[in-house]
A = this chain, B = another copy of it.
């Protein structure tokens, strides 16, 4: 490790939020280690987006870890269950939707914790957001806080009290329009990001899943044209 270098593990899905979170970590001066997961998601096109974004945003490394979450099932993103579609955000379910993948952020954060420990990194960046989000339990501030506390008891560094691990969630209090504005301010090439849960075979966004609807609403409210292609 170079003298004075601060390393961070940055979770990178390939979507707008995680790309913005990575760009934020870079601006804060971190040497960024981008981490993506091949978990059997139907929207695998996001992994190609993640690779392009890691490069474009100057990540030191990009690692894609295979962890097959389809073995458990239970989500529209990993099992043969239709992704819900609507025309407006307000038409989507108000409860935790079927696109919720059981314990996904906990699994992803746990794996990032392993890499952080090996890298000697005390910082993890996660692009979760608790305002314009899909109602997933593992995006809420109280969850992140509890994870951080657990993580500091779980690891060698925590036990030896060398460092305190910090989970950074720079977007957590922003609405989607705020994220779009921050992305542009940080120089994220938003054309490279992929948010759709159910892209068509050409990789075009469906335009009607909750992730597409939230994204479109964000760009509209920010008064910025969304440069990606939508199938409908």
Contacts and interface: CB of A to CB of B under 8 A. Distances in A.
A143 B153 contact: yes
Nearest to A152: B146
A69 B111 CA distance: 8
A114 to B, nearest CB: 4
Interface residues of A, number: 44
B118 A74 contact: yes
Interface string A99-123: 0111111110111011101100000
A101 B111 CA distance: 11
A151 interface: yes
A106 B159 contact: no
Interface in A139-194: 140, 142-143, 146-147, 149-151, 153-156, 158-160
5 residue pairs, one from A and one from B, having the closest CB atoms: A74-B118, A102-B117, A146-B150, A103-B114, A137-B159
Interface of A: 63, 65-69, 71-74, 96, 100-107, 109-111, 113-115, 117-118, 137-138, 140, 142-143, 146-147, 149-151, 153-156, 158-160
